[in-house]
């Protein structure tokens, strides 16, 4: 599988396996280890987490599976996020990007994963109470201590990115954002332009729009399903899932879709999308079906 270079010494697999709903899959440690190996066999080596996923349980579940075969750690890249506090643990939902919280969150993640380093740490959401000096201090300490190799952000717009980057002595390596043929916000507001400008490959969450493309009955979803089905037939693809992934993969921003499923057949569909030769005309047909009109 193609690999995407994010920095000197860091590449990700073009497809990333997402562990947001890992706690819902009902897998034993052995079953989860088997799924990790299934991904590795197909070239998917990058795994996306956050401290809060599964109400603070997904990291430890993944780590318990990994502990059954510790040699796999050297073959994978672990991405995790911090900065959100949930009501279940803190009494209310809030953001916390203080130095103490970032460092404590990483220490907890290291224990959960049974590892001594995180490949990439992301700030999960823009924090309106962020002190960028504290974030920079936390990042520098974690990097110097060898606990985090690289840093990035998630759901940041241009102003958030520029503000935080200005305090750091090293570049942020990625921005994890929502993009799909159904959700065009980050096309429209310049966030993808920012990624291209900074030469930063974005991680893409919800590439299938959380299933809305398949189940929603609004006009956009209906139009989009029709266009996707037509392109699917033209390409000889098995499902429109593959076309949705291909639509992202052919874009010059080098997007890395996050496949957030524990089902092997859904992972296989994303892998098959890597070989779909989507044309510029097909790409624009899908875009315009989502917008409901021709491009200006």
Give, in order, the Cα–Cα distances in Å from 84 to each of 130, 165, 178. Answer: 12, 20, 17
Active site residue 53: yes
Cβ neighbors of 9 (< 8 A, separation 6 or more) are 149
Q: In the chain, at which residue ranges do the beta strands (DSSP E only) sit?
A: 3-7, 10-13, 16-18, 46-48, 77-82, 84-85, 94-95, 118-123, 148-154, 175-178, 203-205, 256-259
**Are 205 and 177 a contacting pair, CB within 8 Å?**
yes
Q: Which of 27, 53, 90, 182 is catalytic?
A: 53
Q: How far is CA 36 from its chain centroid? A: 16
Cβ neighbors of 42 (< 8 A, separation 6 or more) are 1, 267, 268, 271
* Residues belonging to the chain: 296
Q: What is the rounded distance in angstroms from the CA atom of residue 162 to the CA atom of residue 152?
A: 12
**Are 158 and 191 a contacting pair, CB within 8 Å?**
yes
Catalytic residues: 53
């Amino acid at each position: 599988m193609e690999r995407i270079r994010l920095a000197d010494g860091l590449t990700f697999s073009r497809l990333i396996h997402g562990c947001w709903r890992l706690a819902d899959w009902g897998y034993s440690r052995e079953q989860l280890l088997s799924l990790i190996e299934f991904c590795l066999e197909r070239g998917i080596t990058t795994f996306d987490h956050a401290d809060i996923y599964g109400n603070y349980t997904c990291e430890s579940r993944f780590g318990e599976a990994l502990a059954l075969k510790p040699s796999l750690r050297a073959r994978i890249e672990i991405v995790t996020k911090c900065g959100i506090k949930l009501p279940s643990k803190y009494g209310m939902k809030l953001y916390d990007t203080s130095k103490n919280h970032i460092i404590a969150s990483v220490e907890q993640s290291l224990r959960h994963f049974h590892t001594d380093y995180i490949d990439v740490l992301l700030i999960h959401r823009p924090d309106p109470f962020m002190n960028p000096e504290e974030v920079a201090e936390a990042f520098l300490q974690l990097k110097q201590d060898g606990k985090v190799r690289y840093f990035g952000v998630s759901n940041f717009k241009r102003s958030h990115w520029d503000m935080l980057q200005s305090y750091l002595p090293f570049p942020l390596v990625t921005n994890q954002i929502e993009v799909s043929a159904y959700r065009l916000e980050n096309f429209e507001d310049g966030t993808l332009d920012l990624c291209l400008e900074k030469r930063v490959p974005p991680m893409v969450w919800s590439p299938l729009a959380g299933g809305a493309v398949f189940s929603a009955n609004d006009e956009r979803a209906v139009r989009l399903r029709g266009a996707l089905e037509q392109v699917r037939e033209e390409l000889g693809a098995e499902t429109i899932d593959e076309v949705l992934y291909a639509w992202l993969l052919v874009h010059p921003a080098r997007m890395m879709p996050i496949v957030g499923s524990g089902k092997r057949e859904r992972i296989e569909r994303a892998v098959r999308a890597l070989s779909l030769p989507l044309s510029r005309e097909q790409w624009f047909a899908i875009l315009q079906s989502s917008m409901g009109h021709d491009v200006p």
